[in-house]
Structure 1
Amino acid sequence: MRTLDMKTFVALARNRHFGRTAEELNTTQPAISSRLAALESELKSRLINRGDGSFSLTADGEEVLHRFEAILADIDRLKGSLQGEAAPALEPLRIGAIDSISSTWMPHLIDSLHQTFPNLKIELTVDGTKHLVQGMGKGEFDVIFSLHPVLDDGFRSFTSCILQMVWAGSPKLIDPHKTYSVAELADLPIISFPRNSPPYQMIAPYFHDEQALASKLTSCNSLYAIINLLIDGFGVGAIPAVTIRRELKMGLLHQVRVAKRFPPMHIVATYQASTHQDFIRKVINQARISAARFCASVEPEMAWMD
């Protein structure tokens, strides 16, 4: 049995797609199919259920995957030991995160992972929840931090932290000492994330009537751009308080006093549970530690653990 075939099966189990696996391994789909057929013939067992666009491992496939991962990890450790260095655990580790995490505790997580795995390559993609969840389902990420879980076999999700959302605006536009009612807030120009995005879906019910947003709403898919628009006085916006700590301290933005508190945002971590289990478990553990340390470093009302 060739290590190439074992690596191919592990990659196929992670990607859940023959085409993406062929692209990752720089080969063709027929070659991937041939390697799988060789494994199934040698092991005398069907490893994958496929057809009608579906893809799943059989019970034997799950067992083979776990054994192959252990064997390949042993080979990596042996190579690293002979070369006098730690072997990379996964090449590369593919992380997806929304702006609110990439700008807060993601740098600490990446730094801690590099300290634990000096040779590890990390690919960080910053995007919206919709694209991250879709990409996770297609096997494009190993772990994501977004606002929705991936509801599918082979994935595990948990709340990594909770961020308090606040209305914020420039002193050019709002009175920092005034308490605004929902109706008064609706009369102000509003900067929001795009329609149908999770943050927008949190804002619309706040006003009980989505039409209240229609005439004075500017949408943007970048947290950084929204913050700049708020600073320039183009409107008020509901964003995580921790993402504007510096602007609040400098007086560039003020938290709008409101009669109705805005609900907090739950950050959901989703990770691959069927491949590289030992390594992914270490990554998730470090993510929990990084999130906890960040929450402990800011005001308790801004961010906390579930």
Structure 2
Amino acid sequence: MRILDLNTFLVLARNRHFGRAAQEMNTTQPAISTRLAALEAEFGCRLVHRGDREFRLTPEGERVLEVFQKVIDDLEGLRSELKQGYSATTTIRIGVIDSVASTWMPHLVESLHKEAPNLRIELTVESTTALVEHMEKGKFDLIFCLDPAIGDGFRSFVACVWQMTWAGSPKLVQPDRAYNVDELAKMPIVTFPKDTPPYRQIAPYFQDERVLASKMTSSNSLFAIINLLIDGFGVAAIPTVTIERELKSGLLHQMDVAKWFPPMPIIATYQSSTHQKVIQFVADKVREVAGDFARSRPGQAWTTETMPG
């Protein structure tokens, strides 16, 4: 996912018309449609209603718009106020998974904006597998995902740890019922991609490799997983902080389970050989911002220092 794609969606939502959006961005209408299609494919859901004359965002599109607007606003503000501090030529390339982008990443960008207005940030949202691969190829200075990048020039630390909640639609889940492991195993399961930590925990959680071949759907998009849950395609162990709104609105129910799913660490990996002072400054801000975020959600997120034993 590129910043260009985020901007395209914002311009399209503002103009409410493909032709006007193309004109504003000095491109063609098919180009706008292609970028929108790429976003919908990545998220696994429709973001814009088709088939009627009135332009309307879907509920998923509204949620995407809110997150995109916050990220772009922070980045644009940062770029527009490069007046002091670090050199304007210093660019930090940051890669994140979408669950980080939709939670505390805007707070990090805002904090960097205030303390280092000359620092230029390039933010990319991708899957854990892609982030680690691109980090190892030198395309990022700092990544936040579920696995570390391994190499002599890399340093990693746990930015925060998220509670995992079993959740599902009211179509499948009874909020006043307690579910044991055998009952969960019989339900369709939605999870993160193969070879990610949450996926690797599925078999040990159920103590049965056959669960991996049962009714299970995986996706590298948090938005897609949430939408699948809302539509009743299955239940999932998902970070509680990423579905706060859906739980509050009743679109999803938190399941009462006999066995908790292991918590999920968010791993920060950074280049230790380039922009050392700048990278260290950013890493310190990460620890501060992630810690503040965790403290604001007791029982849902922790740092390694505050995690219950």
1:145 maps to 144
Gaps spanning 5+ residues in structure 1: where?
Answer: 1-82
Q: For residues 84 and 119 of structure 1, what CA distance do their matches in structure 2 show?
A: 6
Structure with the greater alpha carbon radius of gyration: 1
Q: 1:237, CA displacement in angstroms?
A: 0.6
1:296 maps to 295
Asked if 2 retains the 8 angstrom alpha-carbon contact of 1:192 and 1:238, the reply is yes
Q: TM-score, normalised by structure 2?
A: 0.69
Q: 1:86, CA displacement in angstroms?
A: 4.1
Identity %: 60
Please provide the CA RMSD for this pair: 1.7
**Are residue 120 (structure 1) and residue 119 (structure 2) matched?**
yes
Q: Which runs of 4+ in 1 moved over 6 A?
A: none
Gaps spanning 5+ residues in structure 2: where?
Answer: 1-81, 305-309
Q: 1:93, CA displacement in angstroms?
A: 1.0
2:184 maps to 185
Instruction: Name the SS of the counterpart of 1:124 in structure 2.
Output: strand
2:22 maps to none
2:107 maps to 108
1:173 maps to 172
Instruction: Name the SS of the counterpart of 2:113 in structure 1.
Output: helix
Asked if 1 retains the 8 angstrom alpha-carbon contact of 2:96 and 2:125, the reply is yes
Mean Cα deviation higher: 148-157 or 105-114: 148-157
1:51 maps to none
After superposition, the Cα gap between the structure-2 partners of 1:84 and 1:141, relative to the gap in structure 1 and judged at 3 Å, is closer
Instruction: Name the SS of the counterpart of 1:101 in structure 2.
Output: helix
Q: Which amino acid aligns with 2:144?
A: F
Q: 1:301, CA displacement in angstroms?
A: 1.2
Mean Cα deviation higher: 89-98 or 252-261: 89-98
Asked if 2 retains the 8 angstrom alpha-carbon contact of 1:89 and 1:279, the reply is no
Q: 1:210, CA displacement in angstroms?
A: 2.6
Instruction: Name the SS of the counterpart of 2:93 in structure 1.
Output: strand
Task: Within 5 Å, give how 1:1-306 maps onto structure 2.
Answer: 85-88=84-87, 91-298=90-297, 300-306=298-304
Deviations 1:36-56 (A, max 9, x none): xxxxxxxxxxxxxxxxxxxxx
Q: 1:213, CA displacement in angstroms?
A: 3.6
Deviations 1:52-97 (A, max 9, x none): xxxxxxxxxxxxxxxxxxxxxxxxxxxxxxx974453653210011
Q: For residues 190 and 125 of structure 1, what CA distance do their matches in structure 2 show?
A: 28
Residues matched between the structures, number: 223
Q: 1:124, CA displacement in angstroms?
A: 1.2
Q: Which amino acid aligns with 1:175?
A: Q
Deviations 1:224-262 (A, max 9, x none): 111011111111011101100111111111111111111
Q: For residues 278 and 133 of structure 2, what CA distance do their matches in structure 1 show?
A: 23
After superposition, the Cα gap between the structure-2 partners of 1:103 and 1:186, relative to the gap in structure 1 and judged at 3 Å, is same
Q: 1:111, CA displacement in angstroms?
A: 1.1
